[in-house]
Structure 1
C-alpha cells in the first residue's frame, strides 16, 4: 500500500468517526442543560446538570419501558439464535428431499417488505389472544428474523471443512454431538455476531411494538420515546436525555461485544 493510500484511508476513517461522534457529543451536551433551556449549536452548558435525565426518567416512566424492552430482547435473542443454529445446521450438513426448495422459500422472507407483514401478524396474533402481550412481539420477531438467521448460520456451518464432520462421524458422534460439541464452538464468533444483531434489531424495534402493544404500561423503550417526543417536543434537553437513556443499553452491549462482533463479521467475509 502506498503512502497516499494509507493517508487517504486514515482521513476517511477520521471523517467517518467525526460523523458519528460529533452528533453524539451534541446530544450529550444538550442533555446536560437544565430542562427547558433553549439550545443552539454545539456548546458546553453554562450550568451542567443531570436534572433533564431525572425528569425524563420519571415523566416517561423509563424504568417500566426499559424493563419491557429487556423482556422482549431476552425472549427474542435466545429463541431466535436456537432456531437459526438448528436451521443452519440442517441446511448445511443434512440431505433431505426438497432441501433447496425449502431454503429458497425461506430466503423469500428476506425480500418481503417488513411493513407488509405487520397487519397479517396482528390479526393472526389477535385470533389466539396474544395481542397486547410481550409474547406476541417475541414470537413475531423470532419468525421475522428466521430467514436471515438461517442463511447466516448455514453459511457459517458450510464454510467449515468437511473433514471435520467426517472425523466426528468416524469417532461415532451423532448429529447432536456433532452440532453442539464440534461445530458450534468453531462458529462461536458468527453466533455472537448474529446474537448482537438480534439484540440491536429487537431493542430498536418500533413499528411492531407500537401496533401489538397498545397499553402504555406495556410499551417498549423506543415506542415510549416516540410518545414522549410528541408530548415534550419543545423541551430539547429532556428530549436529548430521553434519547440517551434509550440508546445507552445498545451502546453498552456493543462495546462489551465489539471484538466478538468484528471477529464474526471478518470471519464471515473471509470464509464467504
Structure 2
C-alpha cells in the first residue's frame, strides 16, 4: 500500500503541556473532573498519559479522551502525518501522526517506545494544542467568538433556492464540493437569512432542503481552516497559541472508525525516540479488508 508523508505545519505549547484530544468534547472537561489543563498537568507529572472522565461520569466516562505530554514551551513543534488510502473513496487518510516535542529523550535506555494509552478517532475530528489554551476552547454549541456566522444550504431544492435567493458555492472538501451559502454574516442576519429559506421551504415544496447556521466558534474555525486540505487539517490561533485541528471524512470514519471506543476502534499513542529527541506518535493502522 502506497503511503505518503505530509507536513502539517507547527503547533505551540507555551505552557509546556501538549494535548491530543477529541475535538467534539474538548470544552466538556470541566464537567468530568476539572479543567483540561489541570488533568494534563497531573498526567505529565506522572510521565504523561491518557485522560478520560471518572468512571461514574454521565453519559460516559469515555466521552472525553485525550493524551497529554510534556513539550518545549519556547519553540514551534513540527507536526507530520503518514497517510494511507481510504477504503471509502481512495483519498488520503492519516495512518501515523507525529509531533516533535522539542525535548531530549528521557525514556527507556534501549529507546523502546513508551505506551501512553489509546484514542478513538472522534467523528467530529481531533485537536492538537496547548493544554492551557484549550481550557478556553469554544466547542460545538458555544457562542460565536466574533459575532459572526456562516449560513449554508443543500439538498433536493438547492438549485431552485440558489436561483431565487442566491448564495456562493462554498467548497468544503479538497475536491471543491460543498453547499451554497454565505460566509461571515452578523449572527442576527445569519439567523434571518436561514429563516427565510426555511419559511420558503415550508410554504412551498416542503421537506427537501437542509439549512445550517454555524456560529464562529473555535470548533467551526477548525473546520473552516481545514476545508481545502487533503486531510481536512487546519490551524487556528487560540489564546496566542497555534492549535491544529484534524477532520475526518464522514464516509471514511464510518467504514474505519464507526463505533469508536465502544466497538474497540482505538489506536495507540506512544512516546518515541528519534535521533535522541522525544516524539509523540499516534498510529492508526491502514485499512485491510480481511481485518
TM range (shorter): under 0.3
Structure with greater contact order relative to length (CA < 8 Å, sep ≥ 6): 1
- Alignment TM-score, normalising by the size of structure 2: 0.26
Structure with bigger strand share is 2
Structure with bigger helix share is 1
- Alignment TM-score, normalising by the size of structure 1: 0.27
Higher Cα Rg: structure 1 or 2? 1
